[in-house]
Amino acid sequence: MSHINLSGIFPPLPTSFDKYENLLPEKIKQNIARLSEFDLSGFLILGSNGEQVMLSDREKSEAIAAARAALPDGRLLLAGTGGQSTRETIALTRDAAAEGADAVLVLNPFYFKSLMTHEALVKHYLDVADASTVPVIVYNMPGNTGLDMTPAMVIEMASHPNIIGMKESGGNVAKMGEVLLRAKPGFQVLAGGAGFLLPALATGAVGGILALANIAPSECIRIFRAFKERDMTNAMRLQHMMIPLNAAVTARWGVPALKAAMDYLGLYGGPARKPLLPLNDEVGRQLINLITESGITKFN
């Protein structure tokens, strides 16, 4: 497999729905066009913020195709393809590659938690990597799956030539460091949250897949660049400013808050799929206050 450079900042795009929760491919394209005005390395479609688990297989293919059609030259398209079975994950991965994904982000199976042993998860990822025609990125998201994959698991997965990196959304920078120390040379780690982007970069991460980059792309890029330029004072200042808003649109209020923030700032957020509920008026006001306090401005 050809090597893909994952360095930089990637927004995990929310999936656009109308008020009846029908897929809106054109709104996905519009958001990519607006966000592509910033120096982002690419986009993730169908991640956790993309409500991947809420979509049918057909909708997943349509969303990936829409993102591919809107993607400017020189940007990467990552697609989430994790399923509860190896068979399903391989099928989703092949569909994503056929629709133009450059690499796939694979969330681990989690329903049968007690049976998701080291051996079971490693074999799952190796089988997916064997079957995939595009590079595979391991996705660790304990907040959603209830499973926190160990460094030993990821290091063994990384031995496969088609597994090129991991997205670590648990915020465990010590884990990132251990993986980078012991995994094959060139294995790439991405921060899965803007709240710990700078510590992750300092540990050796090459960038981040960040929900906050959907609404604050400039600020996320500036943290990344300040670190690269060894301007740690500015990097820390920016990192500290982004922590409260990032928490609001991730762990605190989740996808509905991220979509509401996008609507407020001039992108298309739209509704989340039920059972996810819209924000109430009080939470909406708190969210706008956090956006204002963070210095985020509306899109032109």
Per residue in 114-159, pLDDT (tens digit) is 999 999 999 999 999 999 999 999 999 999 999 999 999 999 999 9
The answer to whether position 15 is within a domain reads yes
Host domain of residue 49: 8-235
Q: In which residue are the tokens 């899965």 written?
A: 192
Q: Is the peptide bond before 12 cis (omega within 30 degrees of 0)?
A: no
Work out the number of other CB atoms within 10 angstroms of the CB of residue 235.
Answer: 22
The residues that bridge with 68 in the sheet, in sequence order, are: none
Cβ(263)–Cβ(30) under 8 Å?
A: no
Is residue 168 included in any domain, yes or no?
yes
Q: What is the reported pLDDT for 235? A: 98
CB 194 within 8 A of CB 167: no
Q: Given this model, what pLDDT does residue 300 score? A: 80
Can you tell me the distance from the alpha carbon of 4 to that of 227, in angstroms, rounded to the nearest whole number? 22
The residues with which 106 forms a beta bridge, in sequence order, are 138
Q: How many CA atoms lie within 13 A of 66 on its CB side?
A: 23
The tens digit of pLDDT for each residue in 288-299 reads: 999 999 999 999
Residue 261: both structure tokens together: 């923030």
Does residue 290 fall inside a structural domain?
Answer: no
Token duo for residue 67: 């993102």
Residue tagged 């004072």 (tokens): 233
- The CATH number linked to 158 is 3.20.20.70
Looking at residue 3, its pLDDT comes to 82
Residue written as token pair 């251990």: 178
* Residue 117, domain member (yes or no): yes
Residue 124 domain-assigned (yes or no): yes
In a domain, 54, yes or no: yes
| Residue 159 belongs to some domain of the structure | yes
Is 167 a residue of the active site? Answer: yes
pLDDT tens-digit profile, the chain (300 residues): 568 999 999 999 999 999 999 999 999 999 999 999 999 999 999 999 999 999 999 999 999 999 999 999 999 999 999 999 999 999 999 999 999 999 999 999 999 999 999 999 999 999 999 999 999 999 999 999 999 999 999 999 999 999 999 999 999 999 999 999 999 999 999 999 999 999 999 999 999 999 999 999 999 999 999 999 999 999 999 999 999 999 999 999 999 999 999 999 999 999 999 999 999 999 999 999 999 999 999 998
Measured in whole angstroms, the distance separating CA 82 from the mean position of its chain's CA atoms is 13
Helix (H, G, I), strand (E, B) or coil at 168: strand
**Could you tell me whether strands 103-107 and 136-140 are parallel, antiparallel, or unpaired per DSSP bridges?**
parallel
Q: What's the CA gap between 267 and 167, in Å, rounded?
A: 25
How many domains, in total, are found in the chain? 1
Q: Mutual orientation of helices 232-247 and 281-293 as an angle, nearest 10°?
A: 170
The pTM (predicted TM-score) of the whole model is: 0.97
Q: Which among 29, 60, 167, 175 is annotated as catalytic?
A: 167
Q: What type of residue sits at position 225?
A: R
Residue 294 included in any domain: no
> Reduced to 3 states, what is the DSSP secondary structure of residue 55?
coil
Pairing state of beta strands 12-13 and 76-80?
Answer: unpaired
